[in-house]
């Protein structure tokens, strides 16, 4: 079975592939394998709407089951921002470093005890015919006072995980893929993937 990941983000692709590696019947593709796919405008008002929009669009275009995630960072002190705008918090085409720098600037002088945050991920698994399943995963933490660590991507260098006493970027992929918001969502989605695999094998 071919499964298309509706993203070009190499970091996300690596994480997802590692987490579902125990489902060997799946051949994973990404939208990079479909250069003729038109751009998808994320017009949803929340993570779930954007995830479904991306998965449905790509599944319909490619003719394959598609897995899309919409994820981001929510900061309580900022009333949930940057939220669905996490990837472009510092502007369109902003780099991870620029987004991190803006977040640190906005939270300047905010004490550690008021820097609660969560990584949120909603995953949508959709068929070419429009059948969709969604799952949400969360990872709670704090925004560090300065970036630390060289693993991961996005806000990982600033996302401090109290249980480990380190930022997500310091923990490395082995730990991250067990505790991350994406891992939590995929854990819920795995039974659905297995169901789809079974249907594809039996023709049900």
- Number of residues that make up the chain: 204
**156 vs 113: CA distance, rounded Å:** 19
Instruction: Give Cβ neighbours of residue 7 (< 8 Å, ≥ 6 apart).
Output: 13, 30, 31, 68, 69
Query: Quick one: which of 21, 18, 126, 121 has its CA closest to 67?
Result: 126
Return the structure tokens found at 37. Answer: 């796919």
Selected catalytic residue, list 69, 70, 96, 156: 70
Question: SS3 for 18?
Answer: helix
72 bridge partner residues: 120
70 carries an active-site annotation: yes
What are phi and psi for residue 111, nearest 5 degrees?
-65, 160
Structural contact between residues 62 and 37, judged by C-beta atoms closer than 8 angstroms: yes
Half-sphere exposure of 201 (CA within 13 A, CB side): 8
3-state per-residue secondary structure call for 28-44: EEEHHHCCCCCCCCCCC
Q: Which residues are catalytically annotated? A: 70
């Amino acid at each position: 079975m071919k499964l298309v990941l509706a993203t070009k983000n190499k970091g996300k692709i690596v994480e997802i592939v590692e987490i579902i590696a125990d489902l060997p019947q799946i051949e994973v593709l990404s939208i990079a394998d479909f250069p003729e796919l038109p751009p998808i405008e994320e017009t949803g008002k929340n993570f779930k709407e954007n995830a479904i929009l991306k998965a449905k669009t790509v599944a319909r275009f490619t003719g394959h089951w598609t897995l899309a995630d919409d994820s981001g960072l929510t900061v309580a002190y900022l009333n949930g921002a940057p939220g669905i705008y996490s990837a472009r918090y510092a502007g369109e085409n902003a780099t991870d470093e620029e987004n991190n720098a803006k977040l640190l600037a906005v939270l300047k002088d905010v004490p550690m005890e008021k820097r609660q945050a969560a990584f949120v991920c909603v995953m949508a698994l959709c068929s070419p015919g429009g059948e969709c399943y969604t799952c949400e995963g969360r990872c709670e933490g704090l925004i560090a006072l300065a970036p630390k660590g060289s693993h991961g991507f996005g806000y990982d260098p600033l996302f401090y995980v109290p249980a480990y006493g380190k930022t997500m970027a310091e923990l490395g992929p082995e730990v991250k893929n067990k505790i991350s918001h994406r891992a939590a969502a995929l854990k819920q989605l795995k039974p659905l993937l297995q169901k789809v695999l079974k249907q594809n094998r039996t023709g049900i």
